[in-house]
Structure 1
Amino acid sequence: MSKQTSTDTLMKMGLAGFVVVLTGLAWVSAFLGELLTPTGMPWTNFTELVARFKHGTFAWPQAATYILIVLALVAFLGIAFLTVVLGGNKPKDDGLPRYKDLEPRMGKKAALAKARQSLHLPEDATEADIIVPAFKLDGKVLYVQHEDSMWVYAPQRSGKTLYIAVGIVLDAPGPVLATSTKNDLLMYTAVTRKRHGRARVFDLQDISGWPDTISWSPVAGCEDPDEALARGKAWAGAQPMGNVKNGDWFNSKAAAILGRFLHAAALDGGTIEDVVRWSNNFADPEPLEILREHGAPAAFAERLQALTSSRAGETVDSIQETLAGLLEPLSSPKALKFLTPAEDQGFNVDDFLTGANTLYLLTDGEDSPVAPLVTMFADHVFRKAQKISQTRAGGRLWPVFTMVLDEAPNVAAFPKMAGALSDSGGRGIRIIGFSQSFAQNRARWGDDGAKAIRGTSSLRLFLPGLEEMAELETIAKAAGPTTHQRVSTSRGKGGSSKTTSEEERPAIRAHKIQQLEQGKAFMHYTNVRPAVVELTPYWERDDVEQIKKDKHAAEALTRRITA
């Protein structure tokens, strides 16, 4: 589709408009000038003005010249101002949706209406309990539901903590579990959260210095064989195997053994120290005897015997080496202390979920040896919350339980992460996962698992700096095509002409997503058109001064200094 317009015609129209405006300014100047420096000219009688001009008796007021200069300058500045205000601040029409396009789905009224229609809400529920202010577009807030899971792809130093995580933790209406490989999230949020409930840490390496710590026994609750196997799977599954040949296979075998050892220890009133002792000596008959003595199913006990006494000696040795790597952190008395609480002194998930309490799970760096233990604990809390939700009104926790899983592939590598994301919303559990790259998710959960995580997250955010262009191309295609106008000019004997045609092109390209400004992200939200949104850093929040004061208080309390 195209149209052709003569360039000469456009120039003539523009010149005519300029003459009309200038004539109008001249008349106003002359009329006002007549009041200051009278000439006797009839400025309101155009017929007589023309006659005087023809007879050479036309007179121009002296003050009118200065007035005309001032009016012309004011007109120029006014046009420039309107151009900036109405044109310069107008959202760029690049084919991506603007706020007006998303308001019917993500505006405040629409989000509240959807929540009230789909949720069983208490009478005293507030807007903050019901919907989440997520991002901005064209300076206006977009909202999502508390039941919406989110996955954030954020390279290092892309601002995920200060632009996203801090705000989510501070604004969460109910309990919060947050994982991190640094203590900055705790420093920015813990004192504030402590005003609403208890703020505690699970810090096996003591990187935070926070005084209110928890202890937790991996053995407690493993009287249930299913729970024992689930913990073993989460613990072993989070072990970083690097380029170890058949690493996943050895991890799966180690998980099966760990689950049975945890079950045996729980049945016998033992502790994690018994699990360590049995793992160091597969020849020890004690765990097998305990299982049989307590009437464990034959398949359960026989499987342990088969795994620990295989004829393939090298295989057993490799499994034992895998277990040794998992259990190595327990050689530290400090870590062991947190995992062997006195009876009835360990962390209680039921109590934690009763209020706006906060729990920070910390490791020292993304490759920390205690990361698998942290994963097992986080997975335990999640599964326990799932069960508790089914005892609450509407089959969901209220207010919502928020899980902020920073460095999820390393310190919160739930074995069935995609399933957790899809199932959690309906139970009043909101999961926000963070990973540094697409490759990091593939390395942890495999190709299919990584795709499933992206597919089951209600909301996906892609921050600037991601490197895999093939993946970004796929993401960009979701925005669809847009129509752009193409203008070309041709010249001939009859003058020049301009041709305007329409062509279809992608609304956004991969390199544009990669090169977004700091503080912006490319958003995919269910079946809403993908958009580039603005993130709100903590220093642009209304409560920024209180956040700064609370951060200084946390640093004084812990004797730690953060950036």
Structure 2
Amino acid sequence: MGSIFNAFTPGATSERPDDEDDVLVESIEEDNPTSASSSNTIPQPDGGTAMDEDSWARRDVHGRHDSTSDDMMEVHEPIMAWWHDFQRHGVGRFIMEHTAIIRDAAEPETNGLTILWAPVLAIGIPLTILPVIFAGRLGWIIAAPMLVATLAGLLMSAIFWVAWRNDKQRNADALNTRKGFMTAHEVASAYGPRQLVRRAPRFLPATAARLKARGLQLSPWDAGVLMGHAHGVEVWATVEQPLYCVGPARMGKTRNYVLPLVMGAPGPVIATSTRRDIIDQTKSMRESGWQGSDGLRHRGGTCWVFDPVGIARGNPAHSLNWSPVDGCEDPHVARRRAADLTATTGLSGDNATWRNSAGAIMQALLHAAALKPGGSIEDVYQWSRSFSAAQQAAKILEDAAIDPKYERQRADGEIAVDWNMELEALKLDDAKMKGNKWYGVAQAMQALGEPKVRRALSVAHDDPNRFQIDKFLKSHDTIYLLSEFRNTDGDDLPGIGGFVSMFLTSVVEEARKLAAGSVGMGKLEPPVALILDEIANISKWSMLPQVITAGSGDGIWATAIYQSRSQARSSYGEDTEREMWDSSQKWLLGGISSTQDLKEISDLLGTRQVRRKETTHEGMKIEYGHVTDRIEDKPVLAMDEARDIPEDMALYLSGRNRGAIVNLIPPEKRDWKPIAEEDRL
């Protein structure tokens, strides 16, 4: 039958898979003329050089399709809308999951019309011919409607093919049905809700015990976030392991990935962004609480906004009353925060020595501000403006070294009694040396040159109304950290990213303190979610690699979201980025352009076996053709296919499991509804 259709459709190929449940094999039949060729080309829309139909089909699948008239588009859109709904239920789901029709027709190497016609003819021809053979004249009466139905089926298949072959849905169907990815059973066993609930008591023992004492059971929402479906099975991202997402701009990353994580995280949430859209789409329901289509209620809490620069233009206004100096009476805290600030200065390589000098000065200034009653970042800023002003900080540290009220702290090493020496030494340096040391300090404080930024951050470390991180970690509150983009040369614009890093470091250190004193496994439950969108464009947060590789053990669930892996490599180096990659659940969206990354993805997924049936013939006498079988290995996902993953889909890789193609659930299909005030718990 394949040869007949190949003669009917010049240059076409058809795929006939062998049904082998235990071997991952696909079958493709090809015609390869050796001594004569038929007309296997079709003209391009612009009248240019002709190309063969298979090349044209591949071009269509990958989005470079021909122009379509308005009338055709009016037919195309409802057909694809019908098909999208049809394949999700009943007969459509059965065809997708349990037959090879769509899998074979969707492959770019094939002419899908031939494959779509095959089952119609396989059913229609016998039902048309057999009554004529065995029932005489009555058979013609029976055969007539069968013939009409068969012709109608062929026509409908052709109309569907015209709409489908140029549509991104064909690419999506190819990925959804391809052998080599996880099956429905594998998805349910690895990422399904039942499996998540079954594992949850191991990594959320205190939560499980608390619910059991109240006569309740864990739900998947206590242990993860629903991301999408694969083969009709729910796919959940577990809070047991961090997430690493690679999604270039304009690929639906915020809509399909970030928003569900912010909304669905089971505990407190911190979300970074360079835009306000995440606030607009989640803040009201994170405050009121929300209810999904499953009927489960999700608690609301206070929403805080860190926006000293004014990215949201005051609506909502900056409301995070946090003091960067709070906690810096502890030398360890002061040192870490100074490192976060000086990491934004761009001093590296040969200038790393000056960054270290700037860090030593900054930690002394922060420490002094924390020891000063009512001290704030305003004091640090004023001290950083000149060498002479910094001597005020040196005097505070010098006095603390002999003040009787600090005797216990000095004995326990809780006050750095000699940090004033770093400031005193400036008096002995020549002008050039002073300038080199002070350059990093001035750069780190550059953002505070804007009065509105300084005003937003100048909260006294002993202000009773200041933001309390420990209380936040025990809540269901949400913090939105907004920052401008870093400059293209790697420096922050104008240093706000350093304060974002300082705040994140403060949260992590406080979370570890609380985890050490908590019941169960010594971790926060529910975990605090750090959803770090655009983190590479905000700041090179020094603690991120540690949080990704080890934070889950403390109840810190981090999601690092990059436009490309090269962003992480440039921030932390190739080896450290590799550790982050290996430690995470990996989510890959379409649009990745790095050849290195695409090749690694393709190699990681391995190969599938494809059985090809090749017909070689002489001249135009196809009936004398010679058919041969050969099996070849093809990538489960070729590099160009990884690049062309559709917008509403993602490749999910975790642990030793095979890759899963996940159809992400966009916000408009999640049925989120805010809980009315009178119905809140």
Same fold (TM over 0.5): yes
Q: Which ranges of structure 2 fall in alignment gaps of 5 or more residues? A: 1-24, 32-118, 161-169, 289-299, 402-414, 488-492, 677-681
The 1:354–1:468 alpha-carbon spacing in structure 2 relative to 1, beyond 3 Å, is same
Aligned to 1:505: 634
AA partner of residue 592 (structure 2): L
Tell me what 1:386 maps to: 512
Match for residue 148 of structure 2?
Answer: 73
Equivalent residue number for residue 364 of structure 1: 484
Where 1:517 maps in the other structure, the secondary structure is coil
User: Is residue 2:628 matched to residue 1:528?
Assistant: no
Residue 513 of structure 1 deviates from its aligned partner by 1.5
**TM-aligned CA deviation for residue 73 of structure 1:** 2.7
Structure 2 CA distance, aligned partners of 1:363 and 1:25? 75
- State how far apart, in whole Å, the 1-side matches of 2:609 and 2:234 are: 27
* Cα offset, 1:175, TM superposition: 0.9
Q: Report whether the alignment pairs 1:345 with 2:465.
A: yes
Q: 1:95-110 counterparts in 2 under 5 A?
A: 95-110=180-195
Q: Which whole-Å deviations, capped at 9, do the CAs of 1:1-46 have from their partners, x for residues lacking one?
A: 999x9x9xxxxxx999987543433379x5xxxxxxxxxxxxxxxx
The one-letter code of the counterpart of 1:276 is Y
Give the C-alpha shift of residue 277 in structure 1.
Answer: 2.5
Q: Name the residue aligned to 2:475.
A: 355
Structure 2 residue aligned with 1:443: 570
Change (3 A) 1:319 1:154: farther
The answer as to 2:245 corresponding to 1:152 is: yes
Give unpaired runs (5+ residues) of structure 1: 8-13, 31-58, 551-563
- Does residue 274 in structure 1 map to residue 351 in structure 2? no
Describe the shift of the 1:276–1:101 C-alpha distance in structure 2 as closer, same or farther (beyond 3 A): same
**Cα shift readout 1:271-291 (whole Å, capped 9, x = no counterpart):** 222212222223443333332
Q: Does the Cα contact within 8 Å between 1:349 and 1:384 map onto a contact in 2?
A: yes
After superposing on structure 2, the runs of 4+ consecutive aligned residues of structure 1 that deviate more than 6 Å are 14-19, 78-84
Length-normalised TM-score, structure 2:
0.67
1:400 aligns with 2:520: no
**Matched residue of 1:285: which SS?**
helix
- Say if 2:567 is the partner of 1:453: no
Task: Give matches, 1:36-435, under 5 Å.
Answer: 60=137, 65-74=140-149, 91-120=176-205, 121=208, 122-123=210-211, 124=216, 125-195=218-288, 196-208=300-312, 209-211=315-317, 213-240=319-346, 246-269=350-373, 270-283=375-388, 284-295=390-401, 296-297=415-416, 300-305=419-424, 308=426, 311=429, 313-341=431-459, 343-367=463-487, 368-369=493-494, 370-394=496-520, 395-411=522-538, 413-435=540-562
Deviation at 1:171, TM superposition (A): 1.3
RMSD: 3.5
Corresponding residue for residue 667 of structure 2: 538
Q: In the aligned structure 2, how far is the partner of 1:326 from the partner of 1:211?
A: 24
* Per-residue deviation, 1:462: 2.1
Q: Tell me which amino acid in the other structure corresponds to 1:93.
A: R
Report the equivalent of 1:472.
598
2:262 is paired with a residue whose SS is: helix
Letter in 2 for 1:261: L
Equivalent position SS for 1:402: strand
Please state how far the C-alpha of 1:223 moved relative to its aligned partner: 0.8
CA distance in 2, matches of 1:311, 1:258: 17
- 2:65 is matched with none
SS across alignment from 2:434: helix
Cα separation, partners in 2 of 1:101 and 1:173, compared to 1, 3 Å: closer
Cα distance in 1 for partners of 2:475, 2:177 equals 45
Provide the C-alpha distance between the structure 2 equivalents of 1:117 and 1:524, rounded to a whole number of angstroms: 22
181-190 vs 346-355, which deviates more?
Answer: 346-355
Given that 1:479 and 1:531 are in contact with CA atoms closer than 8 Å, whether structure 2 keeps it comes out as no
Offset from partner CA, 1:320-373 (integer Å, 9 cap, x none): 222212212212222122222251121101221222111111123454321211
CA deviation after TM superposition for structure 1 residue 225, in Å = 0.3
- Relative to structure 1, the CA distance from residue 276 to residue 130 in structure 2 (aligned partners, 3 Å threshold; closer, same or farther) is same
Distance 1:272 1:401 in 2: 27
Q: Secondary structure at the match of 2:557?
A: strand
Query: 1:280, 1:320 within 8 Å by CA — same for their partners in 2?
Result: no
Structure exhibiting the larger radius of gyration computed from Cα positions = 1
Corresponding residue pairs, total: 503
**Deviation for aligned residue 1:75:** 5.3
Which is bigger in relative contact order (C-alpha 8 A, separation at least 6)?
1
Change (3 A) 1:141 1:305: farther
**How far, CA to CA, are the matches of 1:2 and 1:162 in structure 2?**
35
Q: Distance in 2 between matches of 1:16 and 1:425?
A: 56
Q: Cα offset for 1:260?
A: 1.7
